[in-house]
Structure 1
Amino acid sequence: MRRDRGGRIPAIALSGALGSGKTTLLDHLLRTGTGRIGVVINHFGDVNVDAFLVSGHVDAATSISGGCLCCLSNATELDRAVESLARPELDLDAIVVEASRLAEPRELARLIISSAVRRVRFGGLVEVVDVAAWDEIGSYDGPPVASDHLKVASLLVLNKVDRVDPDRVTLLEKVIHECVGEKPMLPA
């Protein structure tokens, strides 16, 4: 994903349950991707482990601590973080906003879409789905995350498919399709 014609940088929300693989996916993107990527890491604890994990690979990073982004009373803190990464001298191609495990994807997307930072635009929402955790639960009637999380996503990353029988992955794809219709899905 690159800047649009107006030179605005796409801000991509990365969401998923605790342990789904958000940070691993982000680290992989940073190590193997092309282009310059800035990262906003939102963590919900005293020690920002995610920032330590990606710090060696990221072109520019900032962190928001102490609570979930989507629970902020206003977008000022997120806007400040995104503004610091959108500075022209950083010459970033994209900004990834990694949400805490508690984030509501719809609210996170709304915060980015309504951002007062003119140099960025909403680049979509990636929801990481833990296929292995879904398979361990053993309930195949519904999706492993709230259907709203799936509906708002631009891309679903079906993570940990190597730990699950391929037939179960196909079943999950079918369950998701029945729940939210056609949605781009990427096995990882």
Structure 2
Amino acid sequence: MAISKIPVTVISGFLGAGKTTLVNHLLSHNEKFRIGVVVNEFGEVGIDGQLIVSDQEALIEINNGCVCCTVRADLVASVKEMLAKADNRLDRLIIETSGLADPAPVLQTFLADPDLRQQVELESVITVIDALHLRHHLNDEIVREQIAFADTLILNKTDLVNAEELASLGRQIRLINSTAVLVPTHHSKVAIEALLGTKRFSLPNLLMLEPDILEEDGHDHEHDASISSCSVVTPGALDADRFNRWINQLVQSQGQQLMRMKGLLNFATEARQFHFHSVHMLLEAMPGRRWQADESRDNRFVFIGRDLDSQQLRNGFMACLN
């Protein structure tokens, strides 16, 4: 009897598009599947993994590189580790790639590794698109490839864009990918049955895009060398007013080159963690869970952007501590 393979959903999308929000939405509304999650972050400090509402035994973080290149071997090892640790209890896997990951080498990983081919199968490649910032990102080759290689496109943040702009974005997206299912939404809210349980991945379609993808060196990929990350991990309590002044001044002066910021913050007057996110000049902060009594209340903050002055950014953050 043939062994049933575990379906894999790859979730792609540029920096700040809403990938982690989508993963959390799927996990929160899941009553049917036991789902394993592998989350990859470009920076050396993991933030997203701590925000995912998953059984910690079924969550693996890969930091400090992209699964499409520098930590690609880690993706294979992580998936195999999860499958072995779960003792075949998982019903499916979700792979959340970093915002700078090219999907083609990630897909090649699942198609080329003999062990993985026996245990898992690609079900769907979902790309989350940031409707508010897409126009500024369309010249980026990674953004175009993330759209082109998807079989499902989630056009997110539609509440921040007017109808005329949405129609224009839809036409531009269709010039890159005319066949994928296109789902407009906001806050990454999509019905779980619309994304999990339907096989949309097509190897013939992939081979039309990338004829040599099954060959070991079939897809070369190099990141934009001007894009880098820096991070701060520090104990201590932040002064909320000082932090707000600093972060607002920072995005006013460097918002275009600061492509993404995210953090878990410890404010002096708060018993809860605060989750901070920004994409260019759009800022968002919201309370999370309460800090535990025996938990180290460390601040964790990551900057991703072009031509960053890492020391200046770290100094600015540290100056917000009490």
**Cα pair distance change 1:101/1:179, threshold 3 Å:** closer
Q: C-alpha offsets along residues 106-129 of structure 1, whole Å, 9 cap, x if unaligned?
A: 111111222332211122211110
Whether the aligned pair in 2 keeps the contact of 1:37 and 1:58 (CA below 8 Å) is no
Deviation at 1:147, TM superposition (A): 2.9
What SS does the corresponding residue of 2:166 show, helix, strand or coil?
A: helix
Alpha-carbon distance in 1 for matches of 2:121, 2:129:
25
Whether the aligned pair in 2 keeps the contact of 1:86 and 1:120 (CA below 8 Å) is no
Query: Counterpart of 2:294?
Result: none
**Cα pair distance change 1:143/1:179, threshold 3 Å:** farther
Query: Counterpart of 1:22?
Result: 19
Name whichever structure is richer in helix by fraction. Answer: 1
**Cα pair distance change 1:122/1:72, threshold 3 Å:** farther
**Cα pair distance change 1:169/1:78, threshold 3 Å:** same
Residue from 46, 49, 60 that aligns with 1:48: 46
Query: Counterpart of 1:94?
Result: 92
Alpha-carbon distance in 1 for matches of 2:184, 2:67:
27
What SS does the corresponding residue of 1:48 show, helix, strand or coil?
A: coil
What SS does the corresponding residue of 1:39 show, helix, strand or coil?
A: strand
Matched, 1:129 2:129: yes
Percent of residue pairs identical: 30
Q: Tell me which amino acid in the other structure corresponds to 1:172.
A: L
Greater mean alpha carbon deviation, residues 59-68 or residues 94-103: 59-68
Q: Which has the higher contact order (CA 8 A, sep 6+)?
A: 1
Q: Tell me which amino acid in the other structure corresponds to 1:163.
A: L
Alpha-carbon distance in 1 for matches of 2:172, 2:43:
33
Number of equivalenced pairs = 179
What SS does the corresponding residue of 1:125 show, helix, strand or coil?
A: strand
* Cα root mean square deviation, aligned: 2.4
**Cα pair distance change 1:171/1:143, threshold 3 Å:** farther
Residue from 143, 150, 154 that aligns with 1:157: 154
Whether the aligned pair in 2 keeps the contact of 1:30 and 1:58 (CA below 8 Å) is no
Deviation at 1:21, TM superposition (A): 0.5
Q: Tell me which amino acid in the other structure corresponds to 1:171.
A: S
In the superposition, the TM-score normalised over structure 1's length comes to: 0.83
Whether the aligned pair in 2 keeps the contact of 1:30 and 1:57 (CA below 8 Å) is no
Residue from 184, 189, 207 that aligns with 1:187: 184
What SS does the corresponding residue of 1:71 show, helix, strand or coil?
A: coil
**Cα pair distance change 1:30/1:59, threshold 3 Å:** farther
Q: Tell me which amino acid in the other structure corresponds to 2:73.
A: T
Deviation at 1:59, TM superposition (A): 6.7
**Cα pair distance change 1:172/1:27, threshold 3 Å:** same
Greater mean alpha carbon deviation, residues 102-111 or residues 177-186: 177-186
Alpha-carbon distance in 2 for matches of 1:165, 1:143:
22
Whether the aligned pair in 2 keeps the contact of 1:44 and 1:67 (CA below 8 Å) is yes
Whether the aligned pair in 2 keeps the contact of 1:37 and 1:60 (CA below 8 Å) is yes
What SS does the corresponding residue of 1:86 show, helix, strand or coil?
A: helix
Q: Tell me which amino acid in the other structure corresponds to 2:65.
A: G
Whether the aligned pair in 2 keeps the contact of 1:55 and 1:61 (CA below 8 Å) is no
Structure 1 unaligned runs (5+)? none
What SS does the corresponding residue of 2:37 show, helix, strand or coil?
A: strand
Whether the aligned pair in 2 keeps the contact of 1:40 and 1:98 (CA below 8 Å) is yes
Deviation at 1:90, TM superposition (A): 5.0
Query: Counterpart of 2:242?
Result: none
Deviation at 1:167, TM superposition (A): 2.7
Structure 2 unaligned runs (5+)? 186-322
Query: Counterpart of 1:103?
Result: 101
Deviation at 1:50, TM superposition (A): 0.6
Mark the structure with the bigger radius of gyration.
Answer: 2
Whether the aligned pair in 2 keeps the contact of 1:44 and 1:68 (CA below 8 Å) is yes
Q: C-alpha offsets along residues 15-72 of structure 1, whole Å, 9 cap, x if unaligned?
A: 1111100011111111012311110011122321111000446671112222111113
